[in-house]
Amino acid sequence: MDAFAKILESGSPVYFIGIKGTGMCALAELLHGFFGGGAAAAKISGSDTSDVFYTDAILKELGIPYYESFDAAHIPEDAALVIHSAAYSAESNSEVREAVKRGLPLLKYTEALGAYSALFEATGIAGVHGKTTTTALAGTLLKKAKLPAQVLAGSAVSTFNGRSTLSLGNKYFIAETCEYRNHFLSFHPTSIILTSIESDHQDFFPTYESIRDAFLAYIRLLPEGGCLIYCADDAGAREAAEIIKGERGDIHYTEYGRTAQGDYRILSSTVENERSLWTLAGFRQTFTLRVPGDHNVLNASAALALFFLLVKKERGTLDAATLDSLALEAARALEEFRGSKRRSEIVGEVGGVLFMDDYAHHPSAIKTTLAGLKLFYPSRRIVVSFMSHTYTRTAALLDEFASAFSDADILILHKIYASARENFSGGVHGRTLFERVRAQHANVIYFEEPLDAASFLRGTLQEGDICITMGAGDNWQLGKSAYDDFLGGEQREKKNE
């Protein structure tokens, strides 16, 4: 870690392979701005494909140069460090091979993120669900209080000016940390938020116990005096916390949720005027959130727990008046939160149809997201396009997927979105899921390719509907196509008036 800090302090070239990825771009931005972006800051450059992502605009605005191809000659002669996306390896990428050949210091993104976290008092946001939104909410709260922190979320955030990073100072670091392939074990947390644990990533964690044990290993990284903030309402998170309590009496534990003990127990919650309102045991303030879903009330409660933990570290013991004042400011910050990219993201409303996009790709996340929409928008019909991600997840959770769409009024299913990390075995495919869902859902239809459903969707949507694309695939293109069609139709009508 000392070597990593010295590279940043020296202002040496750092080269990113796959720089357009959300996490890679975010880390590049943080390194670019380290030491205020002055002469001592690392000289960042990189490469990626020519495909256009939202990160292109960020890199160009920051003035970070990058190639839109891969070539061994692109790596600077005096590069002090090469960071590469997990999507690339020496076997698949000429630039990674060149870095290995030249003996350059080489880190995967997750390793570099871990090395960066060691420079701060770091908090890792972890869990099968809710990582991105909890990180975004925590950053929104810290921004309101102007705490000296940096934040890295897994998606663009409205309150981060449309970026996935927030830079307020160099004391604290809050980052979304991923369990897949044990990536989060490179992180150096002094505190952890644990939102949930359940079976997922079956290609790497074949059993619930295997993924639970990965989270246990992560929690064990906490130093003496560290803090575990966990959701008492989630069976997996609760089980992990109880196991660690039996091992570690030297760290602090903070629960949140309806079944929690202490200040972050949810006493009441309701939905009014497309807003969630809830109260916590330790505060007189009522908190409000404009993004739908009970799961987001839990995410916001976790973010509040972290916020007050860091505020107390900065200011010491808080008297009642100060606590009330901070709670009011926190409530105002949460009220301003508009979500993050692909997390119940509102694409727009046209022709009376509300178009949304959501990354939910696990049955639990799908079920809670749709239930939240039904509660938030009780008079709207919910039209869903869902594209499952990975054959192993679909096969392992087929029954759970089949029962996850009960709150969808109309459901469109597609082929399984393939992952580069697995091969199709010939067992479960998109129509397998369709047949299983059709046995439980009265109004489900199948289109192999998402855009094949464009005509059907245009003819189905009507004023008052919600049209939401869900999943980690590319069916968001269907929602965008329908939105553009409706927008074009509305513009034509106005032109003819």
Task: Please write the tens of the pLDDT for every residue from 364-405.
Answer: 889 988 998 998 888 899 999 999 988 888 888 889 999 999
Name the pLDDT band for 24 (thresholds 50, 70, 90). Answer: very high
CATH 3.40.50.720 maps onto the chain at: 2-107
The better pLDDT of the pair 5, 207 is held by 207
51: which DSSP letter? -
Topology of domain 345-496 in CATH is: Protein-Tyrosine Phosphatase; Chain A (3.90.190)
**107-132: average pLDDT:** 94
**234-257: average pLDDT:** 98
Which are the contacts of 488, defined by CB distance < 8 A and separation ≥ 6?
Answer: none
Name the pLDDT band for 181 (thresholds 50, 70, 90). Answer: confident
> Which range, of 96-110, 315-329, 477-491, averages the lowest pLDDT?
477-491
pLDDT the model gives residue 419:
67
Q: Is 41 helix (H, G, I), strand (E, B) or coil?
A: coil
pLDDT the model gives residue 37:
47
Q: Burial code of 376-393, b = ≥16 C-beta within 10 A, e = fewer?
A: bbeebbbbbbbbbbbbbb
The sign one gets for the Cα dihedral 444, 448, 450, 451 is negative
Q: Burial code of 122-151, b = ≥16 C-beta within 10 A, e = fewer?
A: bbbbbbbbbbbbbbbbbbbbbbbbebebbb
CATH 3.90.190.20 maps onto the chain at: 345-496
- CATH superfamily of the 2-107 domain: NAD(P)-binding Rossmann-like Domain (3.40.50.720)
**237-243: average pLDDT:** 98
**350-358: average pLDDT:** 90
Concatenating the DSSP letter of every residue in 271-338 gives E-SS-EEEEETT-SSEEEESS--HHHHHHHHHHHHHHHHHHHHHH-S--HHHHHHHHHHHHHHHHH--
Side chain identity at residue 75, one-letter code: I
Task: Give the residue among 165, 239, 230, 187 at the shortest CA–CA distance from 209.
Answer: 239
Question: How many angstroms separate the CA atoms of 207 and 426, rounded?
Answer: 22
Domain 120-336 has CATH 2.130.10.10: no
Question: How many angstroms separate the CA atoms of 2 and 4, rounded?
Answer: 5
118 pLDDT more than 80? yes
Structure tokens at 362: 């696990």
50 pLDDT more than 80? yes
495 pLDDT more than 80? no
Question: How many angstroms separate the CA atoms of 242 and 239, rounded?
Answer: 5
Query: What is the Rg, in whole angstroms, of the alpha carbon atoms belonging to the chain?
Result: 23
Name the pLDDT band for 420 (thresholds 50, 70, 90). Answer: low
pTM over cut 0.85: no
Q: Is 464 helix (H, G, I), strand (E, B) or coil?
A: coil
pLDDT the model gives residue 281:
98
Mean of per-residue pLDDT scores for the chain: 90
Structure tokens at 468: 């939401």
Measured CA to CA in angstroms, residue 127 lies from 240, 409, 431, 495 at distances of 11, 29, 30, 49
> Which range, of 87-96, 258-267, 394-403, averages the lowest pLDDT?
394-403
Measured CA to CA in angstroms, residue 187 lies from 2, 53, 104, 116 at distances of 15, 27, 22, 8
Helix (H), strand (E) at residue 17: strand 13-17
Q: CB 245: neighbour CB atoms within 10 A? A: 12
CATH 3.40.1190.10 maps onto the chain at: 120-336
138 pLDDT more than 90? yes
The sign one gets for the Cα dihedral 269, 327, 167, 312 is negative
Measured CA to CA in angstroms, residue 476 lies from 76, 101, 355, 454, 472 at distances of 37, 40, 10, 12, 9
Asked whether the beta carbons of 70 and 10 are under 8 A apart, the reply is no
